[in-house]
Structure 1
Amino acid sequence: MSTEVRVPTLGESVSEATVATWFKKPGDAVAVDEMLCELETDKVTVEVPSPVAGTLSEIVANEGETVGVDALLAQVSEGDAPAKSAPEAPEEGKPSEQQKATDVSGEPKGEPAEKGDARGDTEDAPSAKKLMAENDLKEGDVKGTGKDGRVMKGDVLKALSEPKKAEAPKQTPRAPVSSNDADREERVKMTRLRQTIARRLKEAQNTAAMLTTYNEVDMSAVMDLRNTYKAQFEKKHGVKLGFMSFFAKACVHALNEVPDVNAEIDGDHVVYKNYVHMGVAVGTPSGLVVPVVRDAHEKSFAAIEKEIAELGTKARDGKLGMADMQGGSFTISNGGVYGSLMSSPILNPPQSGILGMHKIQERPVVVDGQIVIRPMMYLALSYDHRIVDGKGAVTFLVRVKEALEDPRRLLMDL
């Protein structure tokens, strides 16, 4: 009896993944819940276990292939011994033991043979060859994803279903590069995460009516409060008191007054959220990820600081799960940790607002008619003008500024 292995649910807004690594090959025995392969999404890596004990009889999606949710990955035959002479194996594009031992000329594989192409004795799947012949496709028209470049039926179907995709990259060609410079360049394929980041950010610009409004905040009060209580705070709660909890609480306070910034557009409806799931952008060696502090509106300063610290550690270690990054309703991005003085953050769809924090820098400002030196930070709110009006965006940013310049307002809900 054969059991199908399919792509599991990948999480919110994730519809496809790339087969990164197969840990088993056809004919290998597998145990229940033993890892068969690893899928790479734009957010996390997902391991796929075997649903039953038996033998991996067939791999349908090879390494490098893109698969959708619930797509067939493999077949596992229940039982102990692998079938060595299954007649259907050659039909599925897998060479028999005799084929593996000889090349197309009938000579033993171990002896040198004249090869007319780079793939040597690699035999395409019969079903793929038939489909290529029916559609007048040549070998070079289809990129094989099977072992040693073997063309599978799925490769042909993909080539037939995406004729425009092959023509799409008619982008502006690079300017001519001199031979001296070409030798000093390196071409590296973008990772799936980087490709997805690029695509989503461009989609945000193309889809949303994105604007940014700016303000500045005097951080004196927050810094004084933090310096006064940071030792007691860490002793009691076991975590350092940072700035992120102040900004998270200030944003929650402002979102209560301007709920449009915490909403999203769904077709011709606006979805207002009576909760705040605060996304916190984190830079990692692999790229930008946005783990979510769920129900931030219900959490204390200590709870927020602990969760941000845990999520940051998991992000840097590559251990974030899909659940850690789902459902954010608003995002904070702190470019100040890298020294950014001012920037315009890009929305994280389908959210309608993102707050950009920046570097704290001492600057001269006028207070009560006197020029004084204060630790100042520029704030930037990027918002979707389709749902958030200019008045609402400015009001939100002013409320954040007021709460940070006088943290007592948070306690008094002012």
Structure 2
Amino acid sequence: MTTEVRVPTLGESVTEATVATWFKKPGDTVAVDEMLCELETDKVTVEVPSPAAGTLAEIVAAEGETVGVDALLANISEGDSAAAPAPAKKTEAKADAPAASGASVDVMVPTLGESVSEATVSTWFKKEGEAVAQDEILCELETDKVSVEVPAPAAGTLSKILAGEGTTVEAGGQLAVIAEGAGGAAAPAAKEAAAPAGDTQYSTPAAGSGRSDVEDAPAAKKAMAEAGISRDQVQGSGRDGRAMKEDVARAVAAASSAPAAAEAPKAPRAPVAADDAAREERVKMTRLRQTIARRLKDAQNTAAMLTTYNEVDMTEVMALRNQYKDQFEKKHGARLGFMSFFTKACVHALKEVPEVNAEIDGTDIVYKNFVHMGIAAGTPQGLVVPVLRDVDQKSFADIEKEIAEKGKRARDGKLSMAEMQGGTFTISNGGVYGSLMSSPILNPPQSGILGMHKIQERPMVVNGQIVARPMMYLALSYDHRIVDGKGAVTFLVRVKEALEDPRRLLMDL
């Protein structure tokens, strides 16, 4: 009996994914709910479990292929009799290979996610000839959403790398070959020992690179060989001090400019285009950055976006926070920040102006009788927006704990796709970076986003007296197709009132 493995539902408004990684290969035995593969969408990675126990008879969608919802991924042969087929990815060992190595295993590009058909090889953590353990991370692929780690499908020796760093690969494409068995691990050492001194393809990085086990990018090695410069002249900017092609270009430019500086010409010469080009650095946009750029531009092109501003006196919130923060942390195990106050204030305002919490679906307006709050978070890879669900029913402590937990996992790249979908309103805090005022861009299909900014003391007139007060500018960007100016201004005023007198939140005023 054969059971089909199909693409699961990928989430709201998501219709396709890219096969990033297969954890099993044809011929492998699988258990019910054992992870078979990983799909990558434009947001997160989705794991596909086995619907039945048996043998993975056939992989229909290879790594790198783009698949739609409910598309066929693979077939599983159920029952013990299915365990006979040999793995399709293995090949017979060559006659001159060590007897213990037995066979070779192909390392393939895993499923990359919905609508993602290709990736770029960003880093190899192993080099040819090194021994690898099963499931040890071999390399990292970069897509337009997330980075995908590729584990070793078997233990042995990494005998050949087919796609070097910087290479664009398609889902299902081949990355490398592993020679299985302990015998294969011994060969590389002898190979390296016999290699000529001038062979720089996989030489050990110089002391200037920071770590002796860090492998420089192949393009950088080639550039160093062509330019005739040594590794210690190059300052690596890659991970763990890895030298990249751009680092070599900078080193070459610095070396060529040094003699000219020593000559001390009598008169400065006019700059020429070649000099400018030598001082430029061209870096390809990451796939995540490309997707962020596309989505932000789509939001501007689709919505009738407008921004209204106000300012809030943070005196009362800051006093309340300072008074109770120690007791709050002692009881709840979470720090009391400003985000819970702003979240509660927005929930309060959204009840009065529900269109800010609604969305347009064709010719319909969909009003949400709940608040799923998106909290924008900056990560080294780019901006992500984890969603806190049903914040209208949560306490200050619940909100603070969830913000801290999701923020940490966002920075670690561990958020699931589901955790970044379904938001009805978003808060973006540019103040943590020092922004005094900005106009945030909507996160479609939402109709509103609140921008928080830096708290700065300014002279204010209070009861006829000029006093210094901690002030913050607030910005509400909204979709004018659904939210009128009156509603937007009312929303922002209600947020301001709730923050300037937090007691209003307790009494729902």
TM-score with structure 2 setting the length: 0.61
The CA distance in 2 between the partners of 1:271 and 1:321, in whole Å, is: 25
2:69 aligned partner: 69
The CA distance in 1 between the partners of 2:378 and 2:403, in whole Å, is: 13
Asked if the contact 2:28/2:83 (under 8 Å) is kept, the reply is no
Structure 2 letter corresponding to 1:81: A
1:54 aligns with 2:54: yes
Q: How far does the alpha carbon of each residue in 1:200-250 deviate from its partner, in whole angstroms, 9 at most, with x for none?
A: 222211110000111111111100111111112222222111101110111
Alignment length (residue pairs): 338
2:32 aligned partner: 32
1:6 aligned partner: 6
The CA distance in 1 between the partners of 2:461 and 2:439, in whole Å, is: 26
Asked if the contact 1:29/1:81 (under 8 Å) is kept, the reply is no
Partner-residue secondary structure (3-state), 1:372: strand
Asked if the contact 1:7/1:48 (under 8 Å) is kept, the reply is yes
Give the direction of change, closer, same or farther, for the CA distance of 1:146–1:269 in structure 2 (3 Å limit).
closer
In the TM superposition, residue 184 of structure 1 has moved relative to its aligned partner by 5.9
Partner-residue secondary structure (3-state), 1:273: coil
1:312 aligned partner: 407
1:188 aligns with 2:281: no
Partner-residue secondary structure (3-state), 1:239: coil
Give the direction of change, closer, same or farther, for the CA distance of 1:182–1:66 in structure 2 (3 Å limit).
farther
Q: How far does the alpha carbon of each residue in 1:79-102 deviate from its partner, in whole angstroms, 9 at most, with x for none?
A: 111168xxxx9xxxx9x969x98x
In the TM superposition, residue 277 of structure 1 has moved relative to its aligned partner by 1.5
Q: How far does the alpha carbon of each residue in 1:364-391 deviate from its partner, in whole angstroms, 9 at most, with x for none?
A: 2222333221111111000000011111
Partner-residue secondary structure (3-state), 2:83: coil
1:264 aligns with 2:359: yes
Partner-residue secondary structure (3-state), 1:202: helix
* 1:106-185 aligned within 5 A: 147=173, 181=277, 185=281
The CA distance in 2 between the partners of 1:179 and 1:258, in whole Å, is: 57
Say which of 299, 314, 321 aligns to 1:219.
Answer: 314
Give the direction of change, closer, same or farther, for the CA distance of 1:81–1:328 in structure 2 (3 Å limit).
same
The CA distance in 1 between the partners of 2:343 and 2:7, in whole Å, is: 36
In the TM superposition, residue 306 of structure 1 has moved relative to its aligned partner by 1.9
Q: How far does the alpha carbon of each residue in 1:15-58 deviate from its partner, in whole angstroms, 9 at most, with x for none?
A: 22222222233333333333222222222211222223333333
The CA distance in 2 between the partners of 1:35 and 1:47, in whole Å, is: 7
Q: How far does the alpha carbon of each residue in 1:228-284 deviate from its partner, in whole angstroms, 9 at most, with x for none?
A: 111122222221111011101111111111111111111111112222221111222
Q: How far does the alpha carbon of each residue in 1:165-198 deviate from its partner, in whole angstroms, 9 at most, with x for none?
A: xxxxxxxxxxxx859737964543633x434322
Asked if the contact 2:426/2:449 (under 8 Å) is kept, the reply is yes
Residue segments in structure 2 that go unaligned for 5+ positions in a row: 98-168, 176-272
Give the direction of change, closer, same or farther, for the CA distance of 1:301–1:4 in structure 2 (3 Å limit).
same
- Structure with greater contact order relative to length (CA < 8 Å, sep ≥ 6): 1
The CA distance in 1 between the partners of 2:67 and 2:32, in whole Å, is: 23
Partner-residue secondary structure (3-state), 1:236: helix
Please give the root-mean-square deviation of Cα atoms over the aligned residues, in Å: 2.8
Asked if the contact 2:3/2:77 (under 8 Å) is kept, the reply is yes
Asked if the contact 2:454/2:472 (under 8 Å) is kept, the reply is yes
The CA distance in 2 between the partners of 1:295 and 1:371, in whole Å, is: 41
The CA distance in 2 between the partners of 1:219 and 1:340, in whole Å, is: 16
Residue segments in structure 1 that go unaligned for 5+ positions in a row: 102-107, 111-142, 150-176
Asked if the contact 1:54/1:81 (under 8 Å) is kept, the reply is no
The CA distance in 1 between the partners of 2:15 and 2:290, in whole Å, is: 15
* 1:6-405 aligned within 5 A: 6-78=6-78, 79-82=82-85, 147=173, 181=277, 185-188=281-284, 190-191=286-287, 193-405=288-500
Asked if the contact 2:63/2:170 (under 8 Å) is kept, the reply is no
In the TM superposition, residue 144 of structure 1 has moved relative to its aligned partner by 7.5
The CA distance in 1 between the partners of 2:74 and 2:351, in whole Å, is: 49
The CA distance in 2 between the partners of 1:43 and 1:348, in whole Å, is: 13
The CA distance in 1 between the partners of 2:49 and 2:432, in whole Å, is: 39
TM-score with structure 1 setting the length: 0.74
The CA distance in 1 between the partners of 2:91 and 2:488, in whole Å, is: 68
Is 69-78 or 199-208 further displaced after alignment? 69-78
Structure 2 letter corresponding to 1:262: N
Q: Percent identity?
A: 79
- Displaced runs of 4 or more, over 4 A: 143-149, 177-180
The CA distance in 2 between the partners of 1:144 and 1:297, in whole Å, is: 43
Structure 2 letter corresponding to 1:329: T
Partner-residue secondary structure (3-state), 1:381: strand
Structure 1 letter corresponding to 2:286: M
Partner-residue secondary structure (3-state), 2:334: coil
The CA distance in 2 between the partners of 1:66 and 1:179, in whole Å, is: 43
Is 283-292 or 238-247 further displaced after alignment? 283-292
Give the direction of change, closer, same or farther, for the CA distance of 1:48–1:183 in structure 2 (3 Å limit).
farther
Give the direction of change, closer, same or farther, for the CA distance of 1:372–1:210 in structure 2 (3 Å limit).
same
Asked if the contact 2:65/2:172 (under 8 Å) is kept, the reply is no
